[in-house]
Structure 1
């Protein structure tokens, strides 16, 4: 199983006191980045059991799922608790804010993990230019100040301020990059396919085996002909069923190679490959390196 950082452990690591969580409002807190810097900057690639939204200024690398994104100046960073994440400082000087909160805190807004900034690794890190920074800086400043105050409804206000950050970041992303559920049959099939595919992840245990890994398996589950499924996905995404499945399996393979000490054989089995050499061939064709080479590069 990949390392899981619990909310209580987060406070312990940074020597912070944690107020009791209120069941009706969940948990929310905001910290200044300067107060969370540890002298030991060794990467700790792990999942959390809470969400984070950060505004960070400073040269760093964000390791998120299978991607590594370099931030030269300022960026908004959105992390989903189910996806392994690590923030690696390159320069010594960093500033900004880190918000941490549980899903319960946003219960009235619907499933938070369905928002694109928390769902897609490509939109998890949003670089900000000097011209784009001021409104976000103001929102985080307001959250910091409100949390210190004694306003009776401050948590309602904090939710709204944080939602402004989330929606502002999403509006900066190209709308066409995330297909939305629509009214026609192809879009409905695509939405259900995407839900079935994503529901299988993350792989948490080495004896957890992927059940749907081929176009035919998904077609049977959806009760449609495989050609009909492929046509619908091509129409809405521009990609084949096989490509969409392979890309997601590759992403999870990279995550497992980076964040676990499982053997390549165990990873291959969990991802639905009955023969480890088939997995190695698949990974090399897709990623340009063998699983062992990729893991060694990630460690280095």
Structure 2
């Protein structure tokens, strides 16, 4: 797995300073002009722990998962924390903006709504080409964010959340730049995104933390593909079905939790998405030929 760039790493490497409120607020949001980053090196092709929305005017090369997108036009780009990405600006003839935010920034104000938007799903299209008129409209939203974040308005973060939804709405109205993709293998890309989603749920670190994605349908919905298409892609690239891959990873985590924690078996099962204890016991026994309790005793 790729290393993940944290919010702290972003500020240290790009700006050489750290916001005073970075750890004090619920979630984090900030917005910048690209001109403030002129001459600074782009980050590596990896995942970030934050979302990023960029508005760029000029040539750029965007690497997203296993896709490469090159454009010399105005572009609105949505970068997801579960997908590795990187972009280069080949020359100095560019300008624009970007904002970064964590999922926790929306936690009390509709985090689930955020995931409903196609542009905020890891399987969605990340880049949209804008006309000059569309660029100016989106630029107005970013300018508004810059004014709000510099203000003393008590509810400015609510306004900023609304601005993020405005950016998503504008993108949904547009045709994604699908024709710009090169070096794309659909099955490989879908498989890569699936594995990223699956691994992001582990390790389970608390008995009150429960897996959110448990079935093939859950993953297909998150990736905005039909479940049969997901199964076909995974079968082609791994030789196994979606359900087999999910079960294998859950079993691996179950063994680890039974071996390395003192959680009771009910807590282990619940954290892995089994609402009823007998279902977890039957799953474990079916795949290991022993019950969870017998497995735990065998390693004592």
Sort the Cα spacing of 1:73 and 1:108 in 2 relative to 1 into closer, same or farther, 3 A.
Answer: same
Q: State the match for 1:230 in structure 2.
A: none
Superimposed CA distance per residue, residues 135-160 of structure 1 (whole angstroms, 9 cap, x where no aligned partner): 11111011011111111111111111
Q: What aligned pairs does 1:262-273 form with structure 2 within 5 A after superposition?
A: none
1:71-101 deviation per Cα after TM superposition (whole angstroms, max 9, x unaligned): 2121111111111010111222221111011
Give the superposition deviation at 1:105: 1.0
Q: State the alpha-carbon separation in 1 of the partners of residues 61 and 155 from structure 2.
A: 37
**CA–CA separation in structure 2 for the residues paired with 1:129 and 1:83:** 27
Which residue of structure 1 aligns with residue 145 of structure 2?
143
CA contact 1:54–1:97 (8 Å) conserved in 2: yes
* Secondary structure in structure 2 of the residue aligned to 1:144: helix
Report the equivalent of 1:134: 136
Supply the distance in 2 between the matched residues of 1:135 and 1:249 (Cα, whole angstroms).
Answer: 44
* CA deviation after TM superposition for structure 1 residue 124, in Å: 1.1
Question: Which range moves more in the overlay, 125-134 or 87-96?
Answer: 87-96
**CA deviation after TM superposition for structure 1 residue 15, in Å:** 2.2
Residues 26 and 105 in structure 2, CA contact (< 8 A), matched pair in contact too: yes
After superposition, give the CA deviation of every residue in 1:243-299 in whole Å (9 maximum; x if it has no partner): 43243677xx7xxxxxxxxxx9xxxxx979xxxxxxxxxxxxxxxxxxxxxxxxxxx
Is 2:98 the counterpart of 1:98? yes
1:131 and 1:124 mapped to 2: Cα distance? Answer: 20
2:167 alignment partner in structure 1: 165
Aligned length: 207
Q: 1:17: which partner in 2? A: 17
Paired residues for 1:73-84 under 5 Å: 73-84=73-84
Q: 1:12 to 1:240 in 2, by over 3 A?
A: closer
Match of 1:229 in 2: none
In the TM superposition, residue 241 of structure 1 has moved relative to its aligned partner by: 5.7
Does structure 2 conserve the Cα–Cα contact (< 8 Å) formed by 1:25 and 1:104? yes
- After TM superposition, the score normalised by the length of structure 1 is 0.59
1:66 Cα offset (Å): 1.9
Q: C-alpha distance in 2, partners of 1:249/1:70?
A: 30
Residue 133 of structure 1, CA deviation: 1.4
- Which residues in structure 2 correspond to 1:176-255 (within 5 Å)? 201-202=196-197, 204=199, 243-247=229-233
Task: Please identify the structure whose Cα radius of gyration is greater.
Answer: 2
Q: 8 Å contact 1:65–1:121 — kept in the other structure?
A: no
Alignment match, 1:7 = 7
Structure 2, unaligned runs of 5 or more: 177-191, 204-214, 239-243, 247-300
Give the deviation of 1:115 after TM superposition: 2.1
Q: Cα distance 1:27–1:39, how it changes in 2: closer, same or farther (>3 A)? A: closer
CA apart distance, 1:173: 4.6
- Contact 2:57–2:94 (CA<8 Å) still a contact in 1? yes
Give the CA deviation at 1:121.
4.7
Alpha-carbon offset, residue 172 of structure 1: 2.3
1:32 corresponds to? 33
**8 Å contact from structure 1 (residues 7, 50) kept in 2:** yes
**C-alpha distance in 1 between matches for 2:72 and 2:123:** 18
Gaps of 5+ in 1: 175-196, 209-216, 222-232, 254-263, 265-269, 273-300
In 2, Cα distance between equivalents of 1:248 and 1:126: 28
Q: Distance in 2 between matches of 1:29 and 1:109?
A: 17
